[in-house]
Structure 1
């Protein structure tokens, strides 16, 4: 896998972590700068519950206020964090973990091995409703617990003492250390959760922290809906002496033009150039940076049976063939690139050295004539002469708004008899609709959690908590399961061949419509150094960041 370090935003993209080393404009001798960073999100965070977080903004904050057994370092390597040591058995199924001594929660309570046991059990418990529960599938009995066939206390994680954990996997998983970086694998304090009840994680005052930063109760806190909030350095954090920032302030700025103006007036340290116009206007700015991002945009189809039209294979195939991706990106996001897999470019390399998206590419093409023919056949099978479908996207995402508008015209023109109704909602509502299977066609954006194809492919496994469209593709399941279980999981050649077969199965059944791999263009304060950015190139790890003169 490509684990090259990125210096000064070179064109190379890491699928796990990037080191942003700013060139920095040194000023003359002056007083030390204030060690506080200023950021913005286009939409609010949705939760501070590590089991429930599934949106990029919530995960961004959680990576700064919480910590797990391991973490990504700036060189895209997984290193120990709360774990002092991790010993893996020869068969790859048993992990013996020793925690660091003296770990504490932000309220001063001891952080112990039991907190990991409770946190993992809570994530896989069907009563919790975690979208990321499926990420714990490699752990022994996790699948059975999620299916309601076993109780949470059978999960393959046991605390032998306050500092000793034993993790048992159902099958050896070579990338399990990468999975451990996810918030869904973080510890959770059971006593605090029970004290907060249903309010846990719904505000900063009803949450507890163990990371480099924390929220302060009642002071610039997050209430669940307010649009400015702050985190401060956590003096209970085991590595607090190496945390240089005193904290960070987050603002919700829906308008990307406003964010750029705030950056230029010194009120933000980072501004995302979220529209083609902003990219064009700021390309010559000395603070401009551009990254290819392991993040993908797709159209999800509801295949639960609630939308009979989308249960018809020919209708889905017609929609895919009628999608003019080239024109879509020229209008909505010229810096994005067309993708032919449900895994983004620059995510990972296949064993032959190819980018996985090239290795597993499928012939997603634009063919209006063939699309119209299939659509006509699909209508005949449905006993209809026309259909109306609803296309939903986020109204606080510049690409989504432009894409929904373009796709309506594109699909209606190329598929006579089709009417597309646009539905634009907040990112929070779009997230809820996805989780509740309350949509027809959904424009979705996924960022990488770790640099391995399973991170994206797991979204289509039958029964997966991330399978929003309720895809049920037996050929896909067979290929994915072969890739992620012994013996083939232990062979890179066989594992990636199965992943390619899984991509082919999704293409042939038109279960999803991949549109583009994103790129990220932004303005970055050159005085802000030492940031690590994860996954989507817009999640900022501030643990080792600092403001320089």
Structure 2
């Protein structure tokens, strides 16, 4: 079987490499080029229309907002030449833009491009899923709901290079939020020229970031080239960035082994093989994965003890060690570590007291109590997951744990393509779903707000008036009282965990093979995954040893 599997991988690799032997092919290392395998394609080049991490990662390379994030995920000037000047108690921001920023079509990047982009994202007929993240701008929610005209949105171009933003309240993380994809500018001329086709191909967009898209073949590859019109292009070392879309991580590692790519993620069963390799990198990401339990479709999930039983029945340490083996961490909370700090500098996630640690005896007690209250002897439900080999292994582990530690429970697995799984959650057409969430800005509310009653991501049927009020206070009257605000968010998360509408399993880790010649690669915990602006390929380094040749 091993020989047969090796043969299949070899054949697949030959097919992948076929036709790419030209000097400028996607696997060519001629000049300064960074070559990376990605597990899925981006959805669009339209910053108003995406929610996936791959698209946000590409946006970091080809667009630039008012601010970018440094290696500590702090806002640094991008198109803005300095941090905002605050007035009106922090609710009014005046932002000066640099005058040398340009689009790849030669147009100047101006304050009007931000006004147009934000207004377009909030128009009801745009149907931007991330519009809610802009609601801290004055009148944004009303505009998005069609109750006010876009001209009433609290963003104005005072002149070509001065942007004035009116907020509903002072936001401590607003500069980092402005670096997020949906806040990036759009060139009105390009959007109107291409209409509904805008952002669907490399040619039907214009770019103001360090790179521009040269070629995009859907579900195959994305090729970037240096944007010579970028205002800071002298600091950009790479000539090209080549992404290869491959769902099969075995094929990705094979490409790395042949020197055909510089970066690829690998699966748990591959980590041991590369344990002694210089290129193996493990990192912990600020993303939480958990089982959602839908109380609307499974009446037994309305019982708190049943939810607690399931949440406590999964051996999470065993999961991250045997299933993941990639730097992932067992998780009992909701807000991931590396997301936000408390006023005294402690990681917020580490301050949470959770009752959801693995405890099979306690799980059994909750299960027995639930059965008695519900008048049932057993429970059968289906958990949706994605249609990848890795997702299947994860789901099988969770199934085995739940059925072993809660005799009488039958957990069925349904594999679906990513978009279908997400759509089933949005429409509440599921029983349980293995889901995940990562931060969009460095604050616990990036997690806590999605579980408020009525939020589009809280499709579990769970709600708590006390929880909702605490989150509302943390995003309102307590914004200038950091200690009280932190206490409110801590209490809110502990209410959520004690009610257990979700069953946290792990914080995501990632095992990568990265060419030691790659220098200056910045990873982010919020927004797009990487920044490649300062990446350089140091060919004086030996790829195998990481030492100077």
Map 1:109-148; keep pairs closer than 5 Å.
Answer: 109-148=107-146
- Contact 1:348 1:356 (8 Å CA) reproduced: yes
- Contact 1:42 1:396 (8 Å CA) reproduced: no
TM-aligned CA distance change 1:204 to 1:465, over 3 Å:
farther
Q: Residue 530 of structure 1: which of 517, 520, 537 is its match?
A: 520
1:60-83 Cα offsets, whole Å, 9 max, x none, are 111111110001123443111001
Q: 2:415 and 2:511 mapped to 1: Cα distance? A: 24
Map 1:438-517; keep pairs closer than 5 Å.
Answer: 438-469=429-460, 471-486=462-477, 488-517=478-507
Q: Which residue of 2 aligns with 1:176?
A: 174
Q: 1:310 and 1:422 mapped to 2: Cα distance? A: 17
- Contact 1:259 1:271 (8 Å CA) reproduced: yes
Describe the SS at the equivalent of 2:90. coil
TM-aligned CA distance change 1:74 to 1:369, over 3 Å:
closer
- Contact 1:46 1:428 (8 Å CA) reproduced: no
1:184-204 Cα offsets, whole Å, 9 max, x none, are 111123343333333333333
Describe the SS at the equivalent of 1:457. helix
Map 1:281-320; keep pairs closer than 5 Å.
Answer: 281-303=273-295, 305-320=296-311
Length-normalised TM-score, structure 1: 0.86
- Contact 1:323 1:407 (8 Å CA) reproduced: yes
- Contact 1:132 1:465 (8 Å CA) reproduced: no
Q: 1:509 and 1:318 mapped to 2: Cα distance? A: 11
Does residue 363 of structure 2 align to residue 371 of structure 1?
Answer: yes
TM-aligned CA distance change 1:151 to 1:447, over 3 Å:
same
Map 1:315-334; keep pairs closer than 5 Å.
Answer: 315-334=306-325
Q: 2:124 and 2:388 mapped to 1: Cα distance? A: 31
Describe the SS at the equivalent of 1:300. strand
1:320-357 Cα offsets, whole Å, 9 max, x none, are 12223233223312432222221112333222343211
- Contact 1:138 1:171 (8 Å CA) reproduced: yes
Q: Which residue of 2 aligns with 1:55?
A: 52
- Contact 2:212 2:224 (8 Å CA) reproduced: yes
- Contact 1:391 1:420 (8 Å CA) reproduced: yes
Q: CA deviation at 1:145?
A: 3.4
Q: 2:30 and 2:56 mapped to 1: Cα distance? A: 28
Q: 1:396 and 1:522 mapped to 2: Cα distance? A: 18
Q: CA deviation at 1:517?
A: 1.6
Q: Which residue of 2 aligns with 1:221?
A: 216
Length-normalised TM-score, structure 2: 0.86
- Contact 2:306 2:366 (8 Å CA) reproduced: yes
Q: Residue 247 of structure 2: which of 238, 254, 278 is its match?
A: 254
Q: Residue 36 of structure 1: which of 33, 38, 63 is its match?
A: 33
Map 1:160-171; keep pairs closer than 5 Å.
Answer: 160-171=158-169
TM-aligned CA distance change 1:442 to 1:208, over 3 Å:
farther
- Contact 2:355 2:498 (8 Å CA) reproduced: no
Q: Residue 235 of structure 2: which of 242, 259, 266 is its match?
A: 242
Structure 1 residue ranges without an equivalent (≥5): 1-31
Does residue 60 of structure 2 align to residue 69 of structure 1?
Answer: no
Q: How many residues align?
A: 509
Describe the SS at the equivalent of 1:84. coil
- Contact 2:33 2:240 (8 Å CA) reproduced: yes
Q: After the TM superposition, list the runs of 4 or more consecutive aligned residues in structure 1 that deviate by more than 6 angstroms.
A: none
Describe the SS at the equivalent of 2:105. coil
Q: 2:181 and 2:526 mapped to 1: Cα distance? A: 15
Does residue 155 of structure 2 align to residue 157 of structure 1?
Answer: yes
Structure with higher RCO (Cα < 8 A, 6+ apart): 1
Structure 2 residue ranges without an equivalent (≥5): 1-28, 540-549
1:221-264 Cα offsets, whole Å, 9 max, x none, are 23xx3312201112222222221111211111222222112112
Task: Select between 51-60 and 417-426 the one with higher mean Cα deviation.
Answer: 417-426
Q: CA deviation at 1:381?
A: 5.7
Q: 1:195 and 1:537 mapped to 2: Cα distance? A: 28
Q: 1:121 and 1:443 mapped to 2: Cα distance? A: 34
Q: CA deviation at 1:421?
A: 1.9
Q: CA deviation at 1:473?
A: 2.5
Q: Residue 190 of structure 2: which of 192, 198, 212 is its match?
A: 192
Q: Residue 411 of structure 2: which of 420, 431, 435 is its match?
A: 420
User: What is the RMSD of the two structures over their aligned residues, measured on CA atoms?
Assistant: 2.5
